[in-house]
Structures are given as C-alpha cells and as structure tokens.
Amino acid sequence: MLFFLRMAEASSSVKTPLIPNQERSHELEGATISQQGFRRGDFVEEAKLQLWLAGPLIAVSLLQYSLQVTSVMYVGHLGELALSSASMASSFASVTGFSVLLGMGSALETLCGQAYGAKQYNMLGVHMQRAMLTLLVVSIPLALICFEYWSFEMVVLLSGLLPNPKLETSVLSISLNTCWMVYMISVGLGSAISTRVSNELGAGQPQGAQLALRVMTIMALSEGAAIATATVLVRYVWGKLYSNENEVIIYVAKMMPLLALSDFLDGFQCVLSGAARGCGWQNLCVLINLGAYYVVGIPTAVLFAFILHIGGMGLWMGIICGLLVQVTALVAVNVCTDWYEEATKAANRVQNTVLVIDKAT
C-alpha cells in the first residue's frame, strides 16, 4: 500500500502548474534557467501551490496510519502486557515490511518529478512501470530511508531489556505511535517539496526550486511549533487514550515534552529530506541517516538508558541526539547547494534517460 501511495505522490505533479517565468533567462547546457526575483507575491503563490499538493497527501497518510493507532489504543485498555505485546508486533512489522516498501516507492519522486518538469511526460509511465517490475522482483529499498525508520523502531525493541519491560515498552510504544501520527503531516509536506523541487529543476528553474524550499521551510517550522505546543498541552490526558493504568498515564505525561522536541526536529528534517529527494541525493541521505542514527543516536540512547539509568526517556533522548545531527547535516547540505548545477544535473539525467529509451525503441 505504501509503495503505491509513493508512486501516486511522485506522479501527482502531472496536474500541478509550474510558477511562470518572470524575467530573463539564459541557456545552461541545454536547460533554460530563469533569473527570478523573489517577491511577496511569489511566496504567496508558492505557499498556495504547496498547500494544494500537501493537503491530500497529509489526509491520506493520517487516515492510513490511524488504523494502526486505533488498534493500539483499543489493545492498550486490556492491560500493560497486551499493549506491550501489540507494540512489539507493530514494531516488527514496520522494521521488516512497511519501512522497506516506503523506501522503495520514494525513489520515484526524483525521476518522475524531474521528468515532468522537463515536459517528458511519457517518461512518467516508463519510470513507474520499470519501478513496479524492478522493485517487485528485486525487493531492494532504492531510497534506503529505512535506516531512519528502523532506528525509531529499535527504541521500542530495546525498551524490552529495561527493568519493568511491560511499562517501558507500553510507554515507548505510545510515544512512537504518537510520533508517527504527527509525522504523517510532515510526510505530506516532504512529498510536496520533493515534487516542487524536482519539477523546477527538471524545468531548468533553479531559483524556482530555491523559492519552493524557502517557503516550505517557513511552513514546516510553523507547523512544528504548533504541533510541539499542542503536544505539551495535552500531556496529562494523552495517555488516557491508550491505557487505564495510572503509572502508564503518568509516564506518558513525562515523555510528552521530549516528544514535542522530537516532533519539531523530525518535521523539519522531513522537509529537508524531501528537497534532497527532489534533487536526487538519496545516496547522500543514506550516509547522513546512517551516521546520525547508528553512529550517534542508538549508541547515545544505550548510554542514557542502560549506563546512566535514565530508562525509556533516555532511549528517546538518544533519538533526539540523532535528529539533531541529521537536521544539522541536512541544513548544511541545502545551504551549500549550487542550484544551477543541480538544474544541469537534472537536465542531463532526463536527457540521458530519453536517449536510452529512444535507442531501445
């Protein structure tokens, strides 16, 4: 299901109008690069366009994930053991299946988005058909964003090794479910910016890609601040949705401020990662995710939880450390990006693909 959702996201830009050129343009290795000045009207139009793209994606993601959230909520009222058992099963399913499929589908965001921007509409179908055949046979997550998902799920698995594992696993599961539910909003925003960046680069408009990223950054920071505030405000009642156990409710209330911080950082990195997918930097994102979560995040979580004896809160603090490293790296990459060079790469990528198809036919 996630695979086909990603394919729909990647090709949803077929009906998306691009921002019209406003000033002069010049040729850059076969791609027309527009020289645009960013005006207030540009920001407003870009924001409207991105909200139009992100809105349906957010709704679909939330509705899809609500099935899992609702199931865990019902099971949680049966007791700590039932909640912790359901949590482990859910984490195992995510690690072994869902995150892999999500990684598979997201590879199309770069190829389809840039092909559409370059007006090579026939390539949308070609890329989709190739992806369906290749991924179903080989089953390799091309975008490899699974590293990030696995690290979050590993926190739940590690919580089973803590003292009072039923309580720790139950609370970490509630925290993870809450985090993923909020993350569905960021998924929609990330898919929207991926579409916009890939469209603009494929069309040879690097400044249009810059504008899209700036607008989405403002939207992501605003959304993250609102979500973090709401998370803190509902900390005393949120646990009651999942459990009748008083110790679970109190523990969840203590975890919610940490969740607020991680939600804010995770939403921001999701948008930056979306822009990276639009540029075709999946390999770079793999290295960043690997270093952030497996060199910093997980070891720090183990240090806090098992050596400093902070418990489940220590596990989540380790994830926050990984998020900080990831966000810092992605910000540095986007700030140092030569968007004109990326537009040239996108043009060459599309042209090379078309040449291969022409030779084959």
More confident residue, 70 or 277: 277
Write the CA distances from 264 to 48, 96, 234, 272, 344, integer angstroms: 22, 27, 16, 13, 33
Closest CA to 82 of 253, 237, 242, 241: 242
Q: What radius of gyration, in Å, describes the C-alpha atoms of the chain?
A: 21
CB 181 within 8 A of CB 69: yes
More confident residue, 11 or 302: 302
Alpha carbon distance 106, 11 (integer Å): 11
> 48 CB contacts (<8 Å, ≥6 apart)?
none
Write the CA distances from 235 to 106, 238, 260, integer angstroms: 33, 6, 10
Alpha carbon distance 49, 41 (integer Å): 12
Whether the predicted pLDDT of 242 surpasses 60? yes
pTM: 0.71
Highest mean pLDDT among 29-33, 119-123, 235-239: 235-239
Of the candidate ranges 86-100, 136-150, 211-225, the one whose mean pLDDT is the lowest:
136-150
Determine the pLDDT at residue 282: 81
Q: How confident is the model at residue 156 (pLDDT cuts 50, 70, 90)?
A: confident
pLDDT tens, residue by residue, 280-323: 888 888 899 889 999 999 999 999 999 999 988 999 999 999 99
Q: How confident is the model at residue 31 (pLDDT cuts 50, 70, 90)?
A: very low
Residue given tokens 């039932």 in the structure block: 82
The structure tokens listed for 257 are 């401020």
**Residue type at 103?**
G
To the nearest 5 percent, what fractions of the chain are helix, strand and coil?
80, 0, 15
Residue 338 class from Cβ within 10 Å (0-12 exposed, 13-18 middle, 19+ buried)? Answer: exposed
pLDDT tens, residue by residue, 52-96: 888 887 887 777 777 777 777 777 777 766 766 666 666 666 655
What is the helix (H) or strand (E) element at residue 345, kind and residue range? helix 339-360
Alpha carbon distance 255, 312 (integer Å): 9
Whether the predicted pLDDT of 359 surpasses 70? no
Alpha carbon distance 190, 202 (integer Å): 18
